[in-house]
Chain A
Amino acid sequence: MSRPLFVLLSLIWIAFTGEQVRAEGTPQEIISKAIAEEDAEIQASQIKSLLGKATPEVLQLLRQWKDGEIYLYTDAAGSKTVVIPEGEKDSEDKQIFHGLSDGRILNDAEGKPLKLGSSDVESADTSSSSRMAIKAVMDMAALLDTDLKRRLQAIQNIGLEQDPEKLPELKTALAIEKDSSAIRALNESMAFLEIKSDDPTVQLAACRKLGELQSIPSQDVLKGIIVEASAGGRPELAVAAQASLEQIAVHVRNVNTAGTIFRGISTGSVLLVVAIGLAITFGLMGVINMAHGEMLVVGAYTTYIVQNLFGEGLHLSPFGISMNIPGMNATGWLYNSYFIVALPVAFLVAALVGIGLERSIIRFLYKRPLESLLATWGVSLVLQQLFRLIFGASNVDVSSPVWLSGNWTVNDVQFGWNRLFVIGFAVIIILLTWAVLNKTSLGLLIRAVMQNRSMAACMGVRTDRVNMMTFGFGSGLAGLAGAFLSQIDNVGPGLGQKYIVDAFMTVVVGGVGKLTGTVVSAVGIGVADQSLQQILLSPVLGKILVLVAIILFLQWRPSGIFVTRSRSLES
């Protein structure tokens, strides 16, 4: 074909298909061009030209683009090159880059590889239109993706877009699909597209199918169909849509009930994790430790420090003095394991702070429990302000390791990994605490001292030391809890204050001095809180009702669920 003719044909083709740009060349070249493109529409169509050509390599590039791992380099002459970093960063934080379109390494004037730092290049941005185009390409590719999660997401996205032209692709995918959940999703998505069909029977069947599939996303579509059908004089379609909606409503109720129970247990587990340290220091030792919340914060900040030591390093300015500690710059699984390391460190640091507190203040107050409340409150004020002066008043960022983000969905009920983790975490902590108290010699001493301090002292137990160890243990548990809280909440100076009332309540309701009681009350309060929230549709009213219930409950059982029986009159 002669060149002019080709150009002419191309132009006609462009005019005919309405596509403004027909990108050519290798996928690398197309992406490279798209990144450099200023006009959002042309950029989107350039990306879309990759539809159906998406090799894993292309997808990898698109993903890198989206994540900001592709850069634009502007040379001295002002021309821009799309570049990708290569190899490791050197000591000056610089590295070699290669061009995306040709794969050639960037050279300086003398022909040596050019090393660039992060300030020399700018990260290639995405806009919402380009991201949508990227998503469309990825969705199509993802329909055939080997990873089930990505495949499911893609199937769902295509369904929600309701573009009937994509029906054949879904059918092809269904023919070769083996996984049952993906087959269900494909059927759902196909029904979504079929409901847009001009054929009344297909539409009716799709309507019924959505009901049978108990498809939650289809509710809006079905409601729309009812309106349309009633207006268009097609009662049978409206009836079918209505029936499907009712089917789905039943399903939604079941999902909500199951979800609420799970959420309740997870909320209870958070409470339990937070309260278990207090169950030791307050429940067993009788110290009203208002600084318990700050022990949580110590744990949370420790997690922050460990995370940054694994990552980019720690930059702090305690009391206005700059301090930089280089990090390990770990990535991948090593970085993600920071949390595992942070847990014992948080325990140790909080335990040490607790021991320091016990030695300096609390040991003078064992005979004056109500005054321990005041002194520890003073400690809590001091610690809060110290956190502010060391770490700044703002919250700090603790990111979740990959294995704690995401969720596991069964029949539309979601189980977040972090929530499943906290349930497991609570179980392990309880078992550990139980084992320490009941299976070790330290535990024996702790119980002896707590039951009767002077008697234990007479028997030769060094009560002073035991007190110190017990308080350290309780504080360490609080530190562990703080490390976990960093995964679901703010890490800042005020973190502890949010949990202190709840923690005390949990211990008191459970019965002071009884671990089993704390477990039962934590889970009970958690489930009650989440159920009331679900029923009243208001998080605040739910919480208030729980408080009222607690007050009335203590009325009925003044010493909590499990009572420590004692012959002492004034206990």
Chain B
Amino acid sequence: MKRRIFSSLLLASAAVFTAAGAKAEDTVKVGVLHSLSGTMAISETSLRDILLYTFDEINAAGGVMGKKIEPVVVDGASNWPLFAEKAKQLLEQDKVAVTFGCWTSVSRKSVLPVFEEKKGLLFYPVQYEGEEMSPNIFYTAEAVGQQATPAVDYFLANGKKKFYLLGSDYVYPQTTNLVLLEYLLSKGVPLANIGGGFKKDESGKIISAGKYTPFGHTDYQQIVAEIKQFTAGGKACVISTLNGDTNVPFFKEYAAAGLTAETCPVVSYSISEDEFRGLPAKQLVGQLGCWTYFQSIKSPANKKFIDGFQAWLKKSDVPGIVKEGRVTCSPMVLSYNGVYLWKMAVEKAKSFDPEKVMAALESGISFDGPGGKVTTQKNHHLTKNVFIGESKADGQFKILKEFKDVYGEPFLKGTFKAK
């Protein structure tokens, strides 16, 4: 009896794996690999939505090289081994031409060997720590130099003298803060004016700068009290690489302690319009964000993008899709740009073969996206515009400054010399 159950299970699984059979010939399969459940669903679900919208938009306009895009959506479930399994499945069984996906560094790291081994192509859309350049990944993401350092420039220009570094304890904040530490020192900011604490190795070299809290940390009383004392003397600011979810308890505590954007502004690298939906926007007026796109950009391309997405949402029948109060944000636009860049590269290479498409991408392709022109670089990153914005009561950002055509450089550590 047991044997029978067992073998039937085996059969069932085999049936499942082959069920994803071939469809009509005039479609091209494209993978969507994001977490739709678990802790990261909060951020990644929006990217799934925008990708599906982009595919529909392209299909309505005739598809890619005459072929309609057929999305294969899988759920990584915020579980990193499952991400690797899903990546293998997409590449081996569904034989997708390209995959759009991942949010966290660890999810990217877990699928990277899979994409390299199976010679796949992945578009990665979320700001990250750099220090990586896989031959099989194209990073539409913001590199550290396209987000962190421009914001510091802005603060320095505004007469800020003290910088408190705060982040979630993972690689992106750790690396960003180390780069920022070098950058601040190179701009003549003394070590004593950089808050959050340092850790040194045996030789006295700083290997970690700033204050770190674990994921899902809820109690920021102590840290806010520390910031309050740090900033008591004025001319101070906070540079926050807190991961999306923990920003709410942090900012609620921050506001309760009487700290405001006027007394001590916070620039948050991980809060976009999308995260703002869950934040008390009215208490946060004037806090800063730095991205390569804001919904408030006034351009025909952006208007078309936003209107198109909203109209698509209204009639979408994806189960559980949120239709009300939706916004657009940088990771969403970078996903959108990624799809179009891929389409253009395919058309340039006249092939869906990942290697040829990557070669076309490396040759430099420009696309006029909602955030302005983006151009692919040889190092698998994008040249794009960077914007600094301050938040308004309605959760949108007012653009304060624009840096045109910033080059995407993944390897920034050790490039700034201290004064």
Task: Give the residue name and chain of the A residue nearest to B245 (CB).
Answer: A490
Which B residues from 169 to 201 make CB contacts under 8 A with A? 169, 192, 197
Which of A50-58, A81-89, A398-406 lines the interface with chain B?
A398-406
Instruction: Say whether B258 faces chain A, with CB atoms less than 8 Å apart.
Output: yes
Count class of interface residues, chain A: 35 or more
Most buried by B among A135, A317, A493: A317
Contact partners of B398 in chain A: CB under 8 A = 125, 127
Which of B319-327, B340-348, B367-375 lines the interface with chain A?
B319-327
Contact partner of A400 (CB less than 8 A), chosen from B43, B216, B280, B325, is B280
CA distance A242 to B88 in the complex (A): 64
Task: Give the residue name and chain of the B residue nearest to A531 (CB).
Answer: B222
When the two chains form their complex, are residues A393 and B252 in contact, meaning their CB atoms are under 8 A apart?
no
Contact partners of A393 in chain B: CB under 8 A = 36, 41-42, 44-45, 322
CB distance from B289 to the nearest CB of A (A): 14
Which of A232-240, A416-424, A469-477 lines the interface with chain B?
A416-424
CB distance from B96 to the nearest CB of A (A): 24
Instruction: Say whether A95 faces chain B, with CB atoms less than 8 Å apart.
Output: no
CB distance from A383 to the nearest CB of B (A): 12
Instruction: Say whether B262 faces chain A, with CB atoms less than 8 Å apart.
Output: yes
Instruction: Say whether B390 faces chain A, with CB atoms less than 8 Å apart.
Output: yes
When the two chains form their complex, are residues A266 and B42 in contact, meaning their CB atoms are under 8 A apart?
no
When the two chains form their complex, are residues A416 and B286 in contact, meaning their CB atoms are under 8 A apart?
no
Which B residues from 307 to 365 make CB contacts under 8 A with A? 314, 316-325
Instruction: Say whether B203 faces chain A, with CB atoms less than 8 Å apart.
Output: no
Most buried by B among A128, A160, A394, A398: A394
CA distance A540 to B168 in the complex (A): 11
Contact partner of B225 (CB less than 8 A), chosen from A259, A317, A540, is A259
Contact partners of B262 in chain A: CB under 8 A = 131-132, 135
Contact A490:B249 (CB < 8 A) given known A397-B279, A416-B256, A534-B222: yes
Contact A263:B245 (CB < 8 A) given known A317-B321, A317-B322: no
Contact partners of B281 in chain A: CB under 8 A = 397
Instruction: Say whether B214 faces chain A, with CB atoms less than 8 Å apart.
Output: yes
CA distance A394 to B394 in the complex (A): 17
Contact partner of B245 (CB less than 8 A), chosen from A315, A417, A492, A534, is A492
Contact partners of B390 in chain A: CB under 8 A = 128
CA distance A320 to B44 in the complex (A): 17
Instruction: Say whether A68 faces chain B, with CB atoms less than 8 Å apart.
Output: yes
When the two chains form their complex, are residues A493 and B324 in contact, meaning their CB atoms are under 8 A apart?
no
Contact partners of B286 in chain A: CB under 8 A = 128, 131
Task: Give the residue name and chain of the A residue nearest to B45 (CB).
Answer: A393
Task: Give the residue name and chain of the B residue nearest to A132 (CB).
Answer: B262
CA distance A316 to B324 in the complex (A): 6
CA distance A399 to B162 in the complex (A): 30
Instruction: Say whether B204 faces chain A, with CB atoms less than 8 Å apart.
Output: no
Which A residues from 268 to 282 make CB contacts under 8 A with B? 270
CA distance A433 to B45 in the complex (A): 40
CB distance from B276 to the nearest CB of A (A): 8
Contact partner of B42 (CB less than 8 A), chosen from A128, A385, A492, is A492
Which A residues from 486 to 544 make CB contacts under 8 A with B? 487-494, 497-499, 529-530, 533-534, 537-540, 543
Contact A315:B324 (CB < 8 A) given known A267-B221, A489-B248, A540-B214: yes
When the two chains form their complex, are residues A399 and B221 in contact, meaning their CB atoms are under 8 A apart?
no
CA distance A540 to B277 in the complex (A): 28
When the two chains form their complex, are residues A417 and B256 in contact, meaning their CB atoms are under 8 A apart?
yes
Which A residues from 169 to 226 make CB contacts under 8 A with B? 216-221, 223
Contact partners of A260 in chain B: CB under 8 A = 222
Contact partners of A131 in chain B: CB under 8 A = 262, 286
- Chain B positions 395 through 406: 1 when the CB is less than 8 Å from some CB of chain A, otherwise 0: 000101000000
Contact A407:B258 (CB < 8 A) given known A216-B229, A320-B319, A393-B45: yes
When the two chains form their complex, are residues A397 and B280 in contact, meaning their CB atoms are under 8 A apart?
yes
For the complex, count residues of B whose C-beta is within 8 A of A. Answer: 69
Contact partners of A68 in chain B: CB under 8 A = 392-394
Contact partners of B45 in chain A: CB under 8 A = 388, 392-394
Instruction: Say whether A19 faces chain B, with CB atoms less than 8 Å apart.
Output: no
When the two chains form their complex, are residues A539 and B213 in contact, meaning their CB atoms are under 8 A apart?
yes
CA distance A533 to B225 in the complex (A): 12
Instruction: Say whether B39 faces chain A, with CB atoms less than 8 Å apart.
Output: yes
CA distance A489 to B251 in the complex (A): 9
When the two chains form their complex, are residues B248 and A490 in contact, meaning their CB atoms are under 8 A apart?
yes
Which B residues from 247 to 262 make CB contacts under 8 A with A? 248-249, 252-253, 255-258, 262
Instruction: Say whether A319 faces chain B, with CB atoms less than 8 Å apart.
Output: yes
When the two chains form their complex, are residues B277 and A416 in contact, meaning their CB atoms are under 8 A apart?
no
Instruction: Say whether A414 faces chain B, with CB atoms less than 8 Å apart.
Output: yes
Most buried by B among A66, A324, A414: A414
CB distance from B208 to the nearest CB of A (A): 11
Contact partner of A399 (CB less than 8 A), chosen from B37, B249, B277, B283, is B283
Contact partners of B280 in chain A: CB under 8 A = 397-400
Instruction: Say whether B95 faces chain A, with CB atoms less than 8 Å apart.
Output: no
CA distance A540 to B217 in the complex (A): 9
CB distance from A417 to the nearest CB of B (A): 7
Contact partners of A388 in chain B: CB under 8 A = 37, 41, 45, 320
Instruction: Say whether B46 faces chain A, with CB atoms less than 8 Å apart.
Output: yes
- Chain A positions 467 through 485: 1 when the CB is less than 8 Å from some CB of chain B, otherwise 0: 0000000000000000000
CA distance A418 to B400 in the complex (A): 33
When the two chains form their complex, are residues A399 and B282 in contact, meaning their CB atoms are under 8 A apart?
yes
When the two chains form their complex, are residues B319 and A317 in contact, meaning their CB atoms are under 8 A apart?
no
Task: Give the residue name and chain of the B residue nearest to A324 (CB).
Answer: B324
Contact partners of B314 in chain A: CB under 8 A = 322
Instruction: Say whether B158 faces chain A, with CB atoms less than 8 Å apart.
Output: yes
Contact partners of B62 in chain A: CB under 8 A = none
When the two chains form their complex, are residues A263 and B221 in contact, meaning their CB atoms are under 8 A apart?
yes
CA distance A174 to B229 in the complex (A): 26
5 A-B pairs within 8 Å (CB atoms) are namely A317-B324, A320-B321, A399-B283, A407-B257, A414-B228
What is A's interface to B at a CB cutoff of 8 Å?
Answer: 66-68, 123, 125, 127-128, 131-132, 135, 160-161, 216-221, 223, 252, 256, 259-260, 263, 266-267, 270, 315-317, 319-320, 322, 324, 384-385, 388-389, 391-400, 405-407, 409, 414, 416-419, 487-494, 497-499, 529-530, 533-534, 537-540, 543
